[in-house]
Chain A
Amino acid sequence: MFIFDTLSLVFVALILFGAIPNIFYSTGYLPHIQRKTHYQLHYFAFIFSMIGVVVSANALVFLFFWELMSLTSWQLILTEAKEKSTIEAARFYFIMTHFGFVFLLLFFLIITDGNLDIDFASMKLIASHFAYPTLLFFFLLLGFLSKAGAVPLHVWLPYAHPAAPSPVSALMSGVMLKVAIYGMFRFLFDVLYPWPLEWGITILTLGALSSLIGVLYALSEHDIKALLANHSIENIGIILIGFGMGMIFDTLGLYTLSTFAFIAALFHTFNHMSFKSLLFMSAGAVLHQTHTKNMEKYGGLIKVMPITALAFLIAAISISALPPSNGFLSEWMIFQSMLSSSHIDNISLKLAIPFAIFALAMTGGLAIACFVKAYGITFLGLHRSTNAKHAHEVNFWMKSGMVLMAFVVLSLMLFTPFYIEWFDKVLVGLGRNSVYGQIFPNGIWNMHSVGINGGIVSPLILFISLLGVTALMMFAYKVFGVKTRVHNAWACGYKTSAKTQYTATGFAGPIRRFFNWLYKPDEHFEKQTIAGHETKFSSSSYEVHVKPLFEKVFYRSVAKAVNFMSYWVYRLAHFEQTRYSAMIFNIMLIVLFSYRVFSNEFSWATFVLEFIVMMISVKILIIGDRK
């Protein structure tokens, strides 16, 4: 019923690392919540069900905990259902998560032959006899990626994560998405093992698309929690790039590189858990104090909330993949595994992978821009609203949650070799050869890429040298005893005020303008000009809203089509009895006419004749006169 192999245990560790600091934080957040029992009950059931998913050993238990996880998180989003948008977000989440569940159920019904309590080994046997393994792969992809939030199934994240209470958003974004990654590891390795090349390429493409699209929409976002939710899409994309590279290398027989790429994906899974939880926690602390999610209403919070600001800074450096942070190390590994693509013989594949490298590098650059925006607008400068002015540091429990999570981030950075050894054991448990000895061949100081002539990075040396050089310079500055004077900022003779600062919208302006073709922004610009002068105005307002392209194409248009069809179904359901009999008559005609086709006596002349007869009959008997 339950399985405790290395893969499961590592993911249990991931959930505990994510959940324990979160429990502290949630304790501090509790006075803010009205329905306390409802919240506590679902909160702990949620954590419990996630652990249940990763240790379950058969389909029935897996699906039970999976559904429990979806339902509890759905209820948690509804904890503070004061606004209509929250209810809509929860409904959207509910539909998306069950959309995925349907495919998981189909997947399990096929690979278990209807007997839901057999173990993974027997599932593998059944799956290997199934005629269409790619169908199974796509069921798996739709099931897990709708939970993980990869393009094009990512649309619910920017709605659902901001609507939930902050500890829950941290848990959902930091931990729950990773449970879906667990599912990918478990079922692709244990059930669907020999992978065709196309599967890996599919995952790599989805990953590259997700990472770029996630970060681009994050840049245009003003709602701080929606911004972070979009970054989850980006990071899931990065994890999938690593995963896809692993699958491609495995199919091509480059097993060492494949294991390396999978370790990179697992490492990034851990890193994303740590820094995304921390980011959501500190964003939640800001939200708790200022009562708004709008970034344009923050500003200068570093002066009143120093610990929150420091926590956000650590996480921001890590998520932007800047050295020597843990986010940098895992992205470095993913880059190295892609750079090893020069060992591939298939020339078209070899030419395609630089595009994925391009996507990942671009993502890195844009993520830096986005987090400079998030940090700079939220914490630096002057207070942009009275709420921000009256903010102060959050209570002890919330602070301790953030500090604990910051320690998790730092531990992933400082004890990288230790974690890599774990991940290596996971892959060994899944039937691979150990590559730990190749990644850290001589001691823990240097981390090697396993490719031929690969790169090397030394996380600890980088960290120590950066710290050392900075400390030395600051020491010298102190010793010199430079005189310091505090004065107004120079602003061309005007006074600086909250309104002279750059806004988040303005900061992302150049990038928004460059990606205009993607964003298709909805701009509103109004100004009250004075006496017809173009340049003199008493007041002006500028608003810009980015239209989510994927939502429009894949969701709104589908909704429209369904609406249209349901209209006709509605018409059908409200027909008169005479029309029903007319329809039965027409169906009989179709059956009679199509008999000729099946008995191979087809001729175009009779077909046309019968078609005309059908049309006339449908027109007169069913549609009738338009009123």
Chain B
Amino acid sequence: MILYLLSIVLLVLLAPILLSYIKATKMVLLFKRPISIFQGYRNFAKLMHKETIISKETSAITSYAPFLVLSPLIVTMFFLPPIVVGSYYVSFVDAFTITGLISLSTFFLMLLGLDSASAFGGMGSSREAFISALVEPAMVLTIFSVSLMAGNLGVGQAGVNLAEHFPKEHMASFLFAGISFFILLIAENGRIPVDNPETHLELTMVHEAMILDLTGVYLAIIESAASIKFIIFASLFASLFMPFGLEFSAPIAILIFIVKLFIIATAVALLEVNTAKLRLFKIPNLLGLAIVFAFLSLITFYVLGA
């Protein structure tokens, strides 16, 4: 139980570091002087000290929504697969619930965008609604396919099962599901081919546009929600698609898990440096690819058993 709580706290603490790490890696690759990987914390501390400015046009939604954006993600943190063998974990919560919790968070984020009556917020919400509507089917199908291979619909249990018996005989469908999930990881977290997290050009903004009106503590909450969302997806990817190294003793297993997270972050950073952002109306092609891979994974599993 202590290990369980400890791992959750660790992941929450790691979340801002991971995002700063991606940014730092990108800066190194672009021959810029990199930011510290603790920049996330500095930003958080700075925002916590600021006063909150609420725009005149907003309603009660603005004062509740930031909390409702963060809380489903925090609840989701408790349902992730274990990172060490023997640690307590919630075995039963299935993918559909986790997808639902993430959608709940997105739902309030989109309302937040529309609340301030500015054109930016509406634009961001509209685009986010478009993207997340297409992400949902791919997500459900991918996790369905993985849980078939793992033999359990519960995400926690699936992670454990995969670690115990790696499905070598289903490698093909496993790989397809992995590709699909990686695309979803990028799309849901607003990374480069889908959305540019560092942009200041309104034409390209999605996530940043929705939160343009927030300052101070509210902004800090939303920023931490974004980083927690990334760590949720990264650790799901690590547990479901890199299921090894759990059987070592606790400190080594945790270390291996953190290394896996950094590998994923590096992959994302490399992808960001090497690709250009897609036009909004090209994004369905990318997400369509994720859907196709999810179907392929299911079909290979059913028909070929591979």
Which of A490, A498, A506 meets B212, CB within 8 Å? A490
Chain A residues within an 8 Å CB radius of B106: 368
Q: In the complex, what's the smallest C-beta–C-beta distance from A84 to chain B, in angstroms?
A: 34
Q: Which residues A481-535 have CB closer than 8 A to chain B? A: 482-491, 496, 498, 500-502, 506-511, 513-514
Bound complex: CA of A561 vs CA of B26, how far in Å?
Answer: 65
Contact B303 A500 (CB under 8 A): no
Interface string of A270-282 (1 = CB under 8 A from B): 0000000000000
Q: In the complex, what's the smallest C-beta–C-beta distance from B146 to chain A, in angstroms?
A: 12
Contact A368 B107 (CB under 8 A): yes
Q: In the complex, what's the smallest C-beta–C-beta distance from B66 to chain A, in angstroms?
A: 9
Give the interface size class of chain A. Answer: 35 or more
Which of B116, B123, B281 meets A489, CB within 8 Å? B116
Contacts A382-B117, A513-B281 given; does A323 touch B104 at CB 8 Å: yes
Stretch at the interface among A23-31, A141-149, A461-469, A594-602: A461-469
Contact B92 A332 (CB under 8 A): no
Contact B53 A506 (CB under 8 A): no
Q: In the complex, what's the smallest C-beta–C-beta distance from B299 to chain A, in angstroms?
A: 6
Q: In the complex, what's the smallest C-beta–C-beta distance from B301 to chain A, in angstroms?
A: 9
Q: In the complex, what's the smallest C-beta–C-beta distance from B235 to chain A, in angstroms?
A: 19
Which of A321, A366, A469, A508 meets B100, CB within 8 Å? A321
Interface presence of A456 (CB below 8 A): yes
Interface presence of A118 (CB below 8 A): no
Interface string of B137-160 (1 = CB under 8 A from A): 101110010011001111000000
Bound complex: CA of A121 vs CA of B242, how far in Å?
Answer: 59
Contact A362 B133 (CB under 8 A): yes
Which of A302, A320, A506 meets B107, CB within 8 Å? A320
Chain A residues within an 8 Å CB radius of B302: 342, 347, 350-351
Interface presence of A570 (CB below 8 A): no
Interface string of A342-365 (1 = CB under 8 A from B): 100001001100100110011011
Q: Which residues B121-136 have CB closer than 8 A to chain A? A: 121-123, 125-127, 129-130, 132-136
Q: In the complex, what's the smallest C-beta–C-beta distance from B114 to chain A, in angstroms?
A: 3
Contact A449 B153 (CB under 8 A): yes
Stretch at the interface among B38-46, B54-62, B263-271: B54-62
Chain A residues within an 8 Å CB radius of B121: 502
Contact B129 A358 (CB under 8 A): no
A-B contacts, CB under 8 A, total: 250
Interface string of B90-124 (1 = CB under 8 A from A): 00111111001101101100110111111111110
Chain B residues within an 8 Å CB radius of A381: 57, 114-117, 122
Contact A372 B141 (CB under 8 A): no
Which of A300, A347, A466, A513 meets B75, CB within 8 Å? A466
Contact B107 A358 (CB under 8 A): no
Interface presence of A474 (CB below 8 A): yes
Contacts A365-B135, A382-B57, A490-B212 given; does A358 touch B141 at CB 8 Å: yes
Q: In the complex, what's the smallest C-beta–C-beta distance from B104 to chain A, in angstroms?
A: 4
Bound complex: CA of A368 vs CA of B130, how far in Å?
Answer: 10
Bound complex: CA of A336 vs CA of B152, how far in Å?
Answer: 12
Give the interface size class of chain B. Answer: 35 or more
Which of A351, A361, A501 meets B118, CB within 8 Å? A501
Bound complex: CA of A381 vs CA of B103, how far in Å?
Answer: 22
Bound complex: CA of A153 vs CA of B191, how far in Å?
Answer: 43
Bound complex: CA of A300 vs CA of B58, how far in Å?
Answer: 9
Q: In the complex, what's the smallest C-beta–C-beta distance from A432 to chain B, in angstroms?
A: 23
Q: In the complex, what's the smallest C-beta–C-beta distance from A307 to chain B, in angstroms?
A: 12
Bound complex: CA of A510 vs CA of B134, how far in Å?
Answer: 12
Contact A380 B126 (CB under 8 A): no
Contacts A357-B141, A466-B71 given; does A368 touch B303 at CB 8 Å: no
Q: Which residues A450-467 have CB closer than 8 A to chain B? A: 451, 453-458, 462, 465-466
Q: Which residues A413-458 have CB closer than 8 A to chain B? A: 446, 449, 451, 453-458
Contact B126 A446 (CB under 8 A): no
Interface presence of A17 (CB below 8 A): no
Q: In the complex, what's the smallest C-beta–C-beta distance from B128 to chain A, in angstroms?
A: 9
Interface presence of B51 (CB below 8 A): yes
Interface presence of A473 (CB below 8 A): yes
Which of A361, A366, A462 meets B139, CB within 8 Å? A361
Contact B55 A368 (CB under 8 A): no
Contact B151 A490 (CB under 8 A): no
- The chain A residue sitting closest to B121, CB to CB, is A502
Contact A322 B119 (CB under 8 A): no
Interface presence of A328 (CB below 8 A): yes
Which of A323, A336, A354, A502 meets B125, CB within 8 Å? A502
Contact A506 B115 (CB under 8 A): no
Contact B94 A455 (CB under 8 A): yes
Chain B residues within an 8 Å CB radius of A485: 51-54
Which of A300, A366, A458 meets B133, CB within 8 Å? A366
Contact A354 B141 (CB under 8 A): yes
4 tightest CB-CB pairs across the interface, nearest first?
Answer: A502-B122, A455-B94, A376-B114, A365-B136
Pull 27 A–B residue pairs with CB atoms less than 8 Å apart, ordered by A. A317-B104, A323-B97, A336-B94, A339-B144, A350-B302, A354-B295, A357-B140, A365-B132, A380-B114, A380-B115, A381-B115, A453-B153, A454-B153, A455-B153, A457-B94, A466-B75, A470-B67, A473-B71, A482-B216, A484-B52, A485-B52, A489-B56, A489-B117, A489-B118, A491-B119, A509-B126, A510-B126
